A and B are shown apart, each in its own frame.
Chain A
């Protein structure tokens, strides 16, 4: 997605512009300023470039209220992960400053999904100030979810094919819809929302359990292995992210080059919706001294959370190396996360997810 040029970001396509309900209202209703003033300079003092916050709610109240609980609004996935590791995010704390500098910009306004590209990607209209009911895969979602989910889904990791759903022409919005506005209840992480979409939602693979007896692997394992354990392929792992402020005073971060790998481990988030014993795990960028620039020991209880986390790689394939036969997986130690895969300093944190025993071969 090449960035827009400065003029393109604010160019309104004249043709349909005034047909849109929103645009008929006139600019100043949402963007402020005074369009009756003769002197334009003063007429535009106080201009609000992204007026989502105080305007969309006047007409879209229900969505607005729900959206207050969306992870895109609250970023509670970040917050709960930091707090679970003993992080103190009280106002003015060193970690709160780090959060403000490095995480807060991922907060999304309504307009950044429906009117413009996200600020994080430089902003600019999606299509001449048109209000798009469906956000755009590349210009909205992948602008942020690029390096992991985006690359997986679109097949941009070298040697790894795109997701089977993408091959059929599907977009992010083929599965993700208004649940992105949140459920109305605050959730700790993306795997705790009550509205998260799944492979077996109505209309999608909801007949698998009825047809399992025609597929020995399904028959054996639909209940205890997550779908991705058999149907995902190598996905990205990140290590050793450190955040700081550079010499120009701009927030920056460094991390090691990412690594492609595939690791099955124990399910750290077992629940009624996620009953599996085994899931695939992704190493997340964090490390014990991630925020050391802001102070020593800001995550004092680092070991309380695994660094190999529940994952749902978006590169689903019908046939994968591990599902070629029962024994492609059984006895194949490479596929499983064990103590040997853990970095020093992360051994304790991951005791709950490493596989104690590789399943026996020869079934």
Chain B
């Protein structure tokens, strides 16, 4: 559940950042994709995502040993 939440937060961040990018006209949709929403515009742009994506915090415990 925690992971989902983190992912959701991650998404929010991405989209927020990317959205400001969109407004500045920095982001352009990949060719062939109809612009149906800002979500699609940004999520189809590799460079924007690479720039903005934040690595999620590692939730795996270092104390874990052996196989699951």
In the complex, which of the residues A17, A119, A129 contacts B4, with contact meaning CB atoms closer than 8 Å?
Answer: A119
Q: Which of A14, A41, A48, A148 contacts B44 (CB 8 A)?
A: A14
Q: Within 8 Å of chain B (Cβ to Cβ): is A319?
A: no
Check A40–B19 contact: CB distance below 8 A.
Answer: yes
Selected contact of A35 from candidates B39, B50, B53, B56, CB within 8 Å: B39
With contact pairs A49-B8, A119-B4 given, residues A6 and B65 touching in the complex (Cβ less than 8 Å)? no
Interface residues of A in 46-82 (CB under 8 A from B): 47-50
Are the C-beta atoms of A6 and B10 separated by less than 8 Å? yes
Contact across chains for A17 and B33 when beta carbons are under 8 A apart:
yes
Q: Which residue of A lies closest to B56 (CB)?
A: A6
A295 beta carbon closer than 8 Å to chain B = no
Residues of chain B lying within 8 A (CB to CB) of residue A123: 3, 7
Q: Which residues of A contact B65 (CB under 8 A)?
A: 253-255
Q: Assuming the A-B contacts A17-B33, A17-B40, A26-B37, are A41 and B16 also in contact, with contact meaning beta carbons closer than 8 angstroms in the complex?
A: yes
A238 B66 Cβ-Cβ under 8 A? yes
A257 touches B66 (CB 8 A): yes
For chain B, the count of residues having a C-beta within 8 Å of the partner chain is 45
Give the CA-CA distance A313 to B56 in the complex, in Å.
Answer: 35
Look across to chain A and name the residue whose beta carbon is closest to the beta carbon of B7.
A49
**Interchain nearest-CB distance for A27 vs B (Å):** 4
A170 lies within 8 A of chain B by Cβ = no
| Chain A residues with CB under 8 A of B55 | 5-6
Given contacts A11-B49, A40-B16, A255-B65, contact A47 B8 (CB under 8 A): yes
**Residue of B14, B29, B64 touching A10 (CB-CB under 8 A):** B14
- A236 and B68 alpha carbons, distance in the complex (Å): 12
Instruction: Give how many A residues have a beta carbon under 8 Å from the other chain's beta carbons.
Output: 52
- Report the bound CA distance from A241 to B67 in whole Å: 9
| Closest residue on chain A to residue B50 by CB atoms | A7
A212 interface contact, C-beta 8 A: no
State which of B7, B32, B53 has its C-beta within 8 Å of the C-beta of A7. Answer: B53
- Residues 1-29 of B contacting A (Cβ, < 8 Å): 1, 3-4, 7-8, 10-12, 14-16, 19-20, 22, 29
Residues of A within 8 A of B59 (CB): 250
Chain B residue, CB-CB nearest to A250: B61
CB of B4 within 8 A of CB of A49, answer yes
| CB <8 Å contact, A41 and B53 | no
A88 at the interface (CB under 8 A from B): no
- Asked whether, in the complex, the Cβ of A27 is within 8 Å of the Cβ of B37, the reply is yes
Cβ–Cβ < 8 Å partners of A26 in chain B? 36-37
Which chain A residue lies CB-closest to B68?
A: A147
The 9 nearest A-B residue pairs measured at CB: A40-B19, A255-B66, A252-B61, A14-B30, A7-B53, A6-B53, A7-B49, A147-B67, A246-B63
List 8 A-B pairs, Cβ < 8 Å: A7-B53, A10-B53, A15-B30, A18-B36, A253-B64, A255-B65, A255-B66, A255-B67
Known: A41-B19, A105-B1; 5 extra A-B contacts, CB below 8 A, are A27-B39, A41-B16, A47-B12, A241-B66, A254-B65
Residues of chain A having any CB pair with chain B under 8 Å: 5-7, 9-15, 17-18, 26-28, 31, 33, 35, 40-41, 43-45, 47-50, 104-105, 119, 122-123, 129, 147-148, 236, 238, 241, 244, 246-248, 250-258, 285
Q: Which residues of B contact A (CB under 8 A)?
A: 1, 3-4, 7-8, 10-12, 14-16, 19-20, 22, 29-34, 36-40, 43-44, 46, 49-50, 52-56, 59-68
